[in-house]
Copies of this chain bind each other. A is one copy, B any other.
Amino acid sequence: MSNPFAQLHTAMNQFAAERDWDQFHAPKNLAMALTVEAAELQECFQWLTEAQSQQLDEEQLAAVRDEIADVQLYLIRLAGKLNVDIEQACWDKMQKNAARYPADQVRGSSRKYTHYQE
């Protein structure tokens, strides 16, 4: 098996089973935990300028790397509980996004897609 999503999913399931944590891992709770991890990731950047956020030192990058992993692991666990194939969901969503944000209309603008549908 070469798909990293599947491998990580299996490893996470085993990790939770060994700790009897399935009882806590309702999708609702996993979604909460995911947001908490995303906020912890964001916290690494909150007082940095945009320029500083592009030049993290080694200590900052190590912290960010750990938080990226936490977000990814909870996302895999949540998707697994709901039988969502993350990779396929991404490709499908990219197609939607391409339709929502036509390159020739939105070039250089950060406005939300709802602005293009009026």
Q: B-contacting residues of A (Cβ < 8 Å)?
A: 2-5, 8, 11-12, 15, 18-21, 23-24, 26-29, 31-51, 53-54, 56, 61, 64-66, 68-73, 75, 78-79, 81-82, 84, 86-87, 89-94, 96-98, 101, 103, 106-108, 110
Contact check, B11 vs A71: say whether CB atoms are below 8 A apart.
Answer: no
Which residues of chain B have C-beta atoms less than 8 A from A66's C-beta?
89, 93, 96
Q: Is the CB of A94 within 8 A of B41?
A: no
The docked-state distance in angstroms from the alpha carbon of A48 to that of B30 is 12
Q: B41 contacts A39, CB within 8 Å?
A: no
Q: How far is the CB of A70 from chain B (nearest CB, A)?
A: 6
* Pairs A–B under 8 Å by Cβ, sample size 26: A2-B2, A4-B4, A8-B87, A11-B91, A12-B94, A15-B97, A15-B98, A19-B101, A20-B107, A20-B108, A24-B110, A27-B53, A28-B53, A32-B32, A34-B42, A35-B38, A35-B39, A37-B38, A38-B71, A49-B50, A64-B82, A64-B84, A65-B84, A66-B93, A66-B96, A72-B90
Measured CB to CB, the closest approach of chain B to A29, in angstroms, equals 6
